[in-house]
Amino acid sequence: MQRGKRLFWFVLVAFTISIFMISTPAQADKVLKVYTNADINEMEKWAPEAEKAIGMKIQWSPRMSSNELWSRVQAEAPNFNADMIWGFLNAHAMVGTQRGYFLPYKSPVWADIPAEFKDPAGYWHGYNYWFAAVVANKDLLKKKNLPLPKSWLDLTNPVYQGEIVMPNPGTSGTAFLSVSAIMQIFGEKKGWEVLEKLNKNVAQYTKSGSAPSQLVAQGEYAVGISWDQAIYGRVEKGFPIEGIIPSEGTAFDLESVAILKGCKNLEGAQKLIDWLGSKEGMTFIGKFRSKVTRPGILGRVQLDPDLIKYDALWAGENQKRIMSEWKNRFQK
Amino acid sequence: MSLSLQNSFLHELASDTRHFLRRPGLAALTSVAVILILLFIVFPVGSVLLKSFTVTYPTVTVRCQSKVSNRADFKELVTGPILGAIRSIEGVEETRELTDEESSVVVVRFRRDWDDLRGLNDIKRAVQKLQGTFALSVENIKYELGQETIKSLATYGRFFSKSYYYRALKNSIVLAIVTTTIVVFVAFCFAYLGLHGPGFIKAPLRVLGLLPLIAPPFIFALSLILIGGRMGILTRLLHLPFNLYGWPGVITAQMITFLPLGYLLIENVLRSIGSHLDEAASDMGASGVDILFKVTIPLSAPGILKAALLVFIMSIADFGNPMLIGGGVSFLATDAYFLWISENNLEMAAVFCVFLVLPSLIMFVIHQYILKGREYTTIGGKPQQVEERRISPKIFYPMMAVAIPVALMIITCFGMILIGAFTKILMIDNSFTLEHFQSTNGLRSLLTSLKFAFGAALIAPIFGVTLSYILVRKRIPLKRVVEFMALLGFAVPGTVMGIGYILFFNSPPLKLTGTFIILIINEAARNLSVSLEAGVAKLHQIDIAIEEAAIDMGASSFRTFTRVVLPLISSALAAGFVYTFMVGMIAVSAVIFLITPGNNLASLYILAVAEEGFLGMACAISVMLIAVVMICLGGLKLLAHYTKTTIF
Amino acid sequence: MANGNDSPVLELRNVTKRFGNLVAVNNISFSLERGKLVTFVGPSGCGKTTLLRTVSGFAELDEGQIILDGEDITNMPPNGRDTAMVFQAYALFPHMTVAHNIGFGLRVRKKSKPEIDAEVERLLALVQMDGLGDRKPHELSGGQQQRVALARALSLHPKILLLDEPLSNLDANLRVSMREEVRKLQRRLGLSVIFVTHDQEEAMSISDLLVVMDHGVVKQIGSPTEIYEHPIDEFVANFIGHINFFPGEVIDLSGDEMTFKISQTNLKVEVPPFPVSVGDRLKAVVRPESIDIVSAEKELSDRENVLEGRVEFGMYIGSIMRLTIAVGDQTVYVDEADPQHKGIFEDGQKVKLVLKKRIHMLRETSD
Ligand SMILES: Nc1ncnc2c1ncn2[C@@H]1O[C@H](COP(=O)(O)OP(=O)(O)OP(=O)(O)O)[C@@H](O)[C@H]1O
Ligand SMILES: [Mg+2]
């Protein structure tokens, strides 16, 4: 009866099952699930290298912006869907430690890394740091006859109206870093005035901190606020852009890793932290990031940016407040 | 009057229930189905609703252990000073003491938008200062961060007090109305010309009217950016002073995205009108224009209205287009997502969801219970063969003026995606490249998408068609309610289902977030209604006597279902399969909330890369996605042909 | 088969079925003898199908009992009952071949394959469908589908066969020949059958027993002759065949003869088999074919029971001529057999009508 129809459904079901079979890794090899705010193109290179080092498969989250990642983690607490966070804001690391999201791990490999780059109790480890910077498209500036901005204050110049793209501090760690840098440089009251004027010039707020670099590189906008490697990576690729460290100084953030409570692959997570702190790991990451935290290992950028004494604790303590104020003022 | 109505309702309910309980097999099957529907559709949506009526505050709890034996003064000595010190701290809204014999406990509630870390440190500093005064009586001070959720309408209050919240509602509704109007208008032109137009225009319009179906919905936004974005081809070449970001872009992208839906429904109703009425009208001296406005349009009104309602629901729920080309204009579906990801503000996101659900639900109810069946009363019978008829120039040229630009736009959009995929950086470095295709993660996500879409495409039709059988053929209590709950998955926008799933499935024992299966279940639940409706339609075509004949021959209900009913409605199963598969491959809105490491979907990956500005890679993965969908559909078609099964 | 052959195969006891407020079957009792064919007739919506479905089990009873071959099956689900139904639209399984359709019930009973094949062959031969077992239902003509449905129903040797207007989808000629076949088959196999139709001719020609229904109740049960010749009321009389009513009064009674006055004419007729007295108002029920008609000029030897009238119009049907005749202010229908040889009456022609002495009488009801 109805042999044809039966065959049809049989083939369909068999095909579906076989797709499941081939793409689901065998139970035997362990998987390390990580959340990350690293860019897609970075992670596509980092993950395979780390897999080699720890001898396990790594599954990484869909690319998330810093705040998106943190929102997910908060929403999931205390039943996290990943084993660890590989790459998130130091301010969030501090909050998470206080809320008891993490498992401590005192890695022997990290013993000789300065104390300022890790939590005393081992709840988080900072393996590199990055900073907010301004990016400008030289060709476009020339064509539009605009000066090269040199400082945060320059960005508030009305000539740039509609030419600036910056990430949304609601989602992007880069943007939040920039905003808190401005707060810390100018003081809160003056800081808001600067942001008011900057807002008038901004044409678009993007979700991620890297997008402004890409958009400026493609010539969609003349000036953007982004972060170091998103800019310098594209400079090296030959885009007509230039990275600018604002003359007032800029803030850096310590890129951190932490093991989430309920981690199902503690061994893998600890191995990853060990590798990130090791010479090899730091050297590898140094090929992508401006500065790493192991003394004696160089990052990509030798220049010493004019870093302000950025207070990550302040950022962790005031993020919600600053953000709701920001939303009140600037949300269109 | 109402009392007797109520009585007869209760009476019927009671008799239905008695009948139902006497059939253990049916009762068990139905119960399982209802439990699944409740679990995977109703409760998640309900938990969004509940969430919207709450506010969550950060709290800090200070706990001091008593050291002294004389505990009478403990409260006075310790709790009092702590409360005093805390009250003046910024951001504190309320303090509570839970002091008992053993310890002094103070709970401090902060403002909703206050940072708990700051509150904690402020309290620590304040208590530290007191340390000297009660050091003798206190041992071991502990601080705990926590949350307090309170039932409140405050979130709704805030929604209406801040323009950046309620504007999203206004925008979404305006967008839906504008898009709906345009889609209906354009779709009507496409359908009319496709049926009555001259031969050379018919086939192309028919194909183009349906082509957008096979594309991920946001690729039109993507290609519109390539065409009319700030660096778009047109913007560049023509030095346009404006670009498509914002309203024009979203409306255009939505128009193309939802054209097939409008086209299918309107074409169907136009086809069913048949030519004899037109002929009768023209026989009585009506001109072509008269016929169009006095016969054709009034007769097709129910179908047009139905199309309009569905497009309205889709437009409000649309996620990808506003996300990519919205240019910062706020819309409900995307803003609910941003509220969640950028502020972890689930309460406000829930309020957004409520306003997202309301219009859709109203439209859905109108569609389901008021319009349904209407079109059959005005226009009976089967679709009829439409005869070639000369179309009046007064109709032809205006309609062509609408249809041709849109048709060209659709072609261009597909072309742009193809060009974009093989070009380094469009308009900056126009050299040919294959590098965009070399994304390991993109390929992996394609495989995940396949897995996801096939999984959902197996579950949804099996469940939907079985349910349709129960609903159509069996006597069960509260049938309409069960049906409505099952259809809810479709009526409720994806954003709401996504947030609902996060809320409902995040804690044990129903901890399912983070698994792959929850993605599949979510997708199946959202598309259940299509299979359900297909099953219902098919069952209505099958004489119930055929099933009775089987039972009369001694077959059990189960055997009747598997041996007689299933083979007969397998085309509904197949249609449900194909549909669920197609929408699964391009799903965005609900699943974006549910993906976790290791199960990223291609459609979401495209969105993510596009957002980071890698348009080339986004195009390339889109091209691969479309190719995979076409290959699969082709394979299905071949298989169906080979096994002589009807699937469409 | 514990019961002897003389006990009824089916017995309905006070069967009632309601749909909401509508009583579709109202307190019906009735029994069917083994090997007989009973037909339910009645106007559309009178509850015939519903009654059948209570027997097959598809409609649950509200009240009453159904006994099949001595066994109370009132609460037995349809798939457990030893009944088989042939549906109006045949309800063949469209996705199965003819052979599979016929063998379905046997497969349900888990019979072995050779057994099933043999039985299917036998049934195909029985309904004269040999060699068509591999066809699909849509490849068959209406009559062939009908045969398959019948064969399928017979496959399980049901205690009773239920046929719901099985012939109504066939064209006129096929209907006649199929009904003959059904009757022959029923006789040959000694089947107990309930047949539902609203075609009275079909009902008359095929049945051992007729059950006339109206509004959910049984009006009359009897053999075709009984029902035709002695309908118990106007409804039954009207429903089965054409009929003339002559209301009138008994004005004289003498022995087994009485004088019955209708309008101006006095009829001399036999006394009906129920007590009457002078002054009773009755209704004479006369079938059109039992009235003789002659032209007015013709002299009659017997002048009793003659009505004079005028032909309003005549309808030539071939085997008969149906004439509408005005008698006073009453219209009378008369069927004249063999018009070919008796000559045709013209419209307007004056005629005489002769009634028989034995006339079926009904008491005039008050409504
Ligand atoms: N499922 C039902 N629900 C409600 N009313 C019903 C149902 N089935 C039948 N009826 C009603 O019961 C009455 C009897 O219906 P039934 O089908 O038995 O009539 P019938 O004698 O078979 O008529 P027909 O000759 O037209 O087939 C009708 O008034 C009908 O409308
Ligand atoms: Mg009937």
User: ipTM score of the complex?
Assistant: 0.84
Q: Please give the mean pLDDT across all residues of chain A.
A: 86
Q: Say if residue C18 is in the same domain as residue C128.
A: yes
| pLDDT for A83 | 92
pLDDT band at B378 (very low <50, low <70, confident <90, very high): very low
* Minimal-distance CA residue to ligand 1 atom 24: C44
- Does ligand 1 come within 6 angstroms of the Cβ of C24? yes
* Share in percent of chain C as helix, strand, coil (round to 5): 25, 35, 40
Mean pLDDT of C331-336: 89
Structural domain includes residue C135 = yes
Return the CATH number at B367. 1.10.3720.10
Closest chain C residue by Cα to residue B570: C95
Structural domain includes residue B376 = yes
- Give chains near A: 3+ CB pairs under 8 A: B, C
Mean pLDDT of B473-483: 84
Give the structural domain span for B627. Answer: 23-52+439-643
Structural domain includes residue B2 = no
Query: Looking at beta carbons, which residues of chain C come within 8 Å of A1?
Result: 95-96, 100
Q: Please give the mean pLDDT across all residues of chain C.
A: 87
| pLDDT for B377 | 35
The helix/strand/coil state of C310 is: strand
Higher pLDDT, A15 or B155: B155
Nearest to A251, CA basis, from A319, A306, A296? A306
Interface of A with C (CB under 8 A): 1-2
Rounded CA gap, B388 and C342, in Å? 60
Domain final residue pick, C239, C274, C307? C239
CB distance B570–A60 less than 8 Å?
no
Of A87-96, B263-272, B377-386, give the range with the top mean pLDDT: A87-96
Q: Of A12, A137, A208, A331, which to mutate for an interface test with B (greatest number of B Cβ within 10 Å)?
A: A12
The one-letter amino acid code at C46 reads C
| pLDDT for A152 | 92
pLDDT tens string A152-208 = 999 999 999 988 999 988 888 899 899 988 998 999 999 999 999 999 999 888 888
Q: Say if residue B48 is in the same domain as residue B59.
A: no
Structural domain includes residue B3 = no
Rounded CA gap, C162 and C153, in Å? 9
Share of chain C above pLDDT 90, in %: 29
Higher pLDDT, B197 or B625: B625
Structural domain includes residue C344 = yes
CB distance B113–A320 less than 8 Å?
yes
pLDDT for residue B2 is more than 70: no
pLDDT for residue A272 is more than 70: yes
- Report the range of poorest mean pLDDT among A124-128, B103-107, B456-460, B527-531: B103-107
Q: Say if residue C322 is in the same domain as residue C350.
A: yes
pLDDT band at B282 (very low <50, low <70, confident <90, very high): low
pLDDT for residue B217 is more than 70: no
pLDDT for residue B387 is more than 80: no
| Helix C142-154 with C172-189: angle, nearest 10 deg | 20
CB distance C94–B545 less than 8 Å?
no
Mean pLDDT of A246-268: 90
- Report the range of poorest mean pLDDT among A206-220, B153-167, B481-495, C295-309: C295-309
Local structure of residue B238 (DSSP, 8 states): T
| pLDDT for C26 | 92
Q: Say if residue B618 is in the same domain as residue B480.
A: yes
Share of chain B above pLDDT 90, in %: 19
Q: Note the pTM of the prediction, 2 decimals.
A: 0.83
**Tokens linked to C166:** 């099985």
Q: State in Å: Cα C29 to ligand 2 middle.
A: 19
Contact (CB, 8 A) for A57 and A25: yes
Q: What's the total number of domains in chain C? A: 2
Query: Looking at beta carbons, which residues of chain C come within 8 Å of A9?
Result: none
Could you write out the DSSP letters of every residue in A146-177?
-PPP-STGGGG-GGGTTTEEEE-TTT-HHHHH
Return the CATH number at B113. 3.30.70.1430
Domain final residue pick, B121, B151, B181? B151
Mean pLDDT of B289-309: 82
Sheet with C83-86: strands ordered across: C83-86, C160-164, C193-196, C37-41, C209-214, C217-222
Tell me the β-bridge partners of C111: none
Query: Looking at beta carbons, which residues of chain B come within 8 Å of A168?
Result: 342
pLDDT tens string B4-36 = 666 777 887 888 788 777 778 888 888 999 999
Q: Say if residue B46 is in the same domain as residue B59.
A: no
pLDDT band at B136 (very low <50, low <70, confident <90, very high): low
* Minimal-distance CA residue to ligand 1 atom 8: C50
Q: State in Å: Cα C19 to ligand 1 middle.
A: 9
pLDDT for residue A104 is more than 80: yes
| pLDDT for B3 | 56
pLDDT band at C221 (very low <50, low <70, confident <90, very high): very high
- Does ligand 1 come within 6 angstroms of the Cβ of C19? yes
**Tokens linked to B210:** 């349906």
Q: Of B142, B225, B580, B596, which to mutate for an interface test with A (greatest number of A Cβ within 10 Å)?
A: B596
Rounded CA gap, C113 and A108, in Å? 76
Contact (CB, 8 A) for B144 and B106: no
Nearest chain C CA: its distance from B385 CA (Å): 23
Q: Say if residue B370 is in the same domain as residue B229.
A: yes
Task: Using alpha carbons only, give the angle B197, B200, B205 rounded to the nearest 5 degrees.
Answer: 65
Mean pLDDT of B441-457: 88
pLDDT for residue A37 is more than 50: yes
CA trace torsion A272, A277, A281, A287 (10° rounding): 130
Q: Say if residue B584 is in the same domain as residue B616.
A: yes
Q: Of C53, C62, C95, which to mutate for an interface test with B (greatest number of B Cβ within 10 Å)?
A: C95
- Does ligand 1 come within 6 angstroms of the Cβ of C17? no
pLDDT band at B381 (very low <50, low <70, confident <90, very high): very low
pLDDT for residue B379 is more than 60: no
- Report the range of poorest mean pLDDT among A108-117, B207-216, C349-358: B207-216
| pLDDT for C64 | 93
**Residue A268: its H or E element:** helix A266-277
List, in order of start, the domains of chain A with CATH numbers.
10-127+254-292 (3.40.190.10), 130-251+309-330 (3.40.190.10)
**Residue B470: its H or E element:** helix B440-473
Structural domain includes residue B520 = yes
CB distance C84–B548 less than 8 Å?
no
pLDDT tens string C31-61 = 999 999 999 998 888 999 999 999 998 888 8
pLDDT tens string C111-140 = 899 999 999 999 999 888 888 889 988 889
| pLDDT for B238 | 73
pLDDT for residue B1 is more than 60: no
Contact (CB, 8 A) for C103 and C180: no
The one-letter amino acid code at C222 reads G
- Does ligand 1 come within 6 angstroms of the Cβ of C315? no
pLDDT tens string C234-263 = 889 888 888 899 888 898 888 888 888 888
pLDDT band at B276 (very low <50, low <70, confident <90, very high): low
Could you write out the DSSP letters of every residue in B537-583?
HHHHHS-HHHHHHHHHTT--HHHIIIIIIHHHTHHHHHHHHHHHHHH
pLDDT for residue B224 is more than 80: yes
- Report the range of poorest mean pLDDT among B149-158, B429-438, C11-20: B429-438
Structural domain includes residue C341 = yes
Give the structural domain span for C337. Answer: 244-363
Mean pLDDT of B292-308: 83
**Tokens linked to A40:** 């897609």
Structural domain includes residue C3 = no
Q: Can you give the three-state secondary structure of B3-69, one letter per residue? A: HHHHHHHHHHHHHHHHHHHCCHHHHHHHHHHHHHHHHHHHHHHHHHHHHHCEEEEEEEEEEEEECCC
Local structure of residue C139 (DSSP, 8 states): G
How many other C-beta atoms are found inside a 10 Å radius of the C-beta of residue B301?
A: 14
Return the CATH number at C151. 3.40.50.300
Mean pLDDT of B110-136: 82
- Report the range of poorest mean pLDDT among A296-300, C165-169, C313-317: A296-300
Sheet with C292-295: strands ordered across: C292-295, C350-354, C306-316, C320-327, C330-337
Query: Looking at beta carbons, which residues of chain B come within 8 Å of A98?
Result: 116-117, 120, 145
Which of B546, B555, B564 lies closest to C79 in CB terms? B555
Structural domain includes residue B189 = yes
Share of chain A above pLDDT 90, in %: 34
Mean pLDDT of A65-69: 84
What does each C-alpha distance from B80 to B73, B101, B127, B130, B133 come to in angstroms? 10, 15, 12, 11, 12
Q: Say if residue C271 is in the same domain as residue C325.
A: yes
Domain final residue pick, B151, B183, B207? B151
Q: Say if residue C221 is in the same domain as residue C95.
A: yes
Closest chain A residue by Cα to residue C98: A1
Share of chain A above pLDDT 70, in %: 94
